Amino acid sequence: MKFFVDTADIAAIRELNDLGMVDGVTTNPSLILKAGRNIAEVTREICELVPGPVSAEVVAADAEGMIREGKHLAKIAGNITVKVPLTWDGLKACRALSDEGHMVNVTLCFSAAQAILAAKAGATFISPFIGRLDDIHLDGMDLIADIREIYDNYGFETQILAASIRTVNHIVDAAKIGADVITAPPSVIKSMANHVLTDKGLAQFDADWKQTGQKIV
């Protein structure tokens, strides 16, 4: 499974990248706002840091505008993935951009039917939003499983990028189902290392070691 980091925070990306935990990055207008930096500037810096796909999202609502913005964003770096919404205009933009050789991430997917359309339109990635489905009392993992089954049935090459990841369980469940990629905030990825029994074991080892009165160096 590939790990994408869902942030525009350069320091957070660098920390995880140095550990080999970053295969790509996803951004959106909200994350750009949170970073408080110019979109082209911060996106270029991320692309220089991470060799994998870096999603940069268009903001136009019409296909023509999305295509124009997508081409502009793609000029920032060779590893840019143009992110478009799963609307009819977004699908038109996806087809046009993918036909020109650009990677495209179709985002805000909430149904298997939408995912089929994205694959047919040539999407590189489809981003089903797990957490937002959970928020309305639907099981986001059911959607991941449905898309995995359908894509495998027909050999669609579009990669399933599980998004709106809120918990470690989301990551593990998506991995068990067979999502190609997850994108999650740095805090969620780092929390994968946490376990109460690990903490308990370390505390016991530390107490026992102190009783030996020894030093390793």
Q: Alpha helix (H) ranges present in 54-139?
A: 63-74, 88-99, 112-120, 130-135
Q: One of 2, 34, 83, 190 is an active-site residue; which one?
A: 83
Is residue 176 part of the annotated active site? The answer reads no
DSSP-based three-state secondary structure for 20: coil
Whether 182 contacts 166, CB under 8 Å: no
Cβ neighbourhood burial of 36 (10 Å; 0-12, 13-18, 19+): exposed
Residue 81's alpha-carbon distances to 65, 114, 197, 216, in angstroms, are 16, 19, 40, 49
Closest by Cα among 165, 211, 204, 205 to 187: 165
Which secondary-structure segment (H or E) carries 198? helix 196-212
DSSP state for residue 149 in the 8-state scheme: H
Q: Which residues are catalytic?
A: 83
